[in-house]
Amino acid sequence: MRWVATVTVLLALACPAVTVAKPQPVASVTVGCASQQVPPGPPVEEEKAAPASAPLPWPPEPVGGPQMGTCDRIGPDGAPDLTAASWVLADLDTGAVLAARAPHARHRPASTLKVLTALTAVRELNPDRVVQGTAEDQAIDGSKAGIGPGGQYTVRQLLAGLLLNSGNDTAEALARTMGGDGPTIAKMTVTAHELGALDTRPATPSGLDGPGMASSAYDLALIFRAAMREPLFAETTGLHSIPFPGYGDHPGFVLYNSSKLLAHYEGTIGGKTGFTEAARHTLVAAAERGGRRLVVALMRGEQSPTPMWRQGARLLDWGFDLPATTPAVGELVDAAPAPPPPPVADPATSQTLALKPVPPLLPVGLGVLAVTGMVIGGIALRRRH
């Protein structure tokens, strides 16, 4: 029927086809190293929980810059050989990362986590507040500063026990003063994430292994840098010794700093070491030379063939020998990165209309109906005759 064909042609002319641009495929981006998202196994008894903690997610981009996402070594040639699986060397003042190895690889921090505990306590508690020791403090596993039931200790003294002698007993006393282990761990988590330490998940106030415990060399350096801005922390971590109260029939004594780096490396201004069987050896420390201050963080290291403090010293020596103009490979951020903005559609993919403008449909439709009526009317008249 010719009139049908005529109408079809008219409709095609009145309503041109709309060309819709096809969405372009988005290139996949890998952030973080799959083998480094959780500390290496197998988990120890203290870490087992039901259900197990999910791995900390990787952020959309590596904190500290794109090169911080490396899974191996980055920076100038000539770095010393270290046993540490992960390490960072950075400028303590500017935050410029000079070199690193797998900086965001997650490992167990052991007692280097006490830097975060101390930072949280410094911000939370009055340093002159008096805290009474308990039998529970004294009974905790691991290293102790020497507090006991009935002893009276200021927060300032507990911080010294925490940082100088890695006292798990003083960690418990500080945590109790901040509301208990659970609330303290929650506060430590908030502090870490506000700083941008997104690899860090505390499980205990002391750094003893626990479910989901994790940190990274990048985070340890970042947290230590933030802590050194607190005068009380900076003063305490640099002490060689301090008079410490006794309790009950136990007289007071002198508490000495156990840091071999502080004792033997000229220019050391503070630091913290750690060890558990699962974490192996960890270290974070800072030193000053020639007007420069550098911070090093080492995780999952071994004491053989070179003690960890000497490995830290070698990394510091190499860092101080680097020219001041050495380009940074990243930075220790001052705060958590802002959430990424919503993706902006590509103009080519957001185009939904034809290259030719589409005319208004109502007038065209009326015109088509009128023409169609005329065609049909003409056909009907011809059939009558």
Q: Catalytic site residues?
A: 111, 114, 166
Written as six digits, the tokens of 78 are 């000539």
Phi/psi of residue 99, each to 5°?
Answer: -165, 160
Quote the radius of gyration of the chain (alpha carbons, Å): 33
User: Please, is 243 exposed, middle or buried when counting C-beta atoms within 10 Å of its C-beta (0-12, 13-18, 19+)?
Assistant: exposed
Reading the block at residue 325, the tokens are 């103009």
Residue 250: DSSP 8-state: B
Neighbours of 73 (CB within 10 A): 12
Q: What does each C-alpha distance from 32 to 21, 107, 109, 223, 336 come to in angstroms? A: 34, 14, 19, 20, 17
DSSP H helical ranges for the chain: 2-14, 114-124, 135-139, 155-164, 168-177, 181-195, 217-227, 231-237, 260-264, 308-321, 347-350, 361-384
CA distance 109 to 279: 6
Measured distance CA(214)–CA(212) in Å, rounded: 6
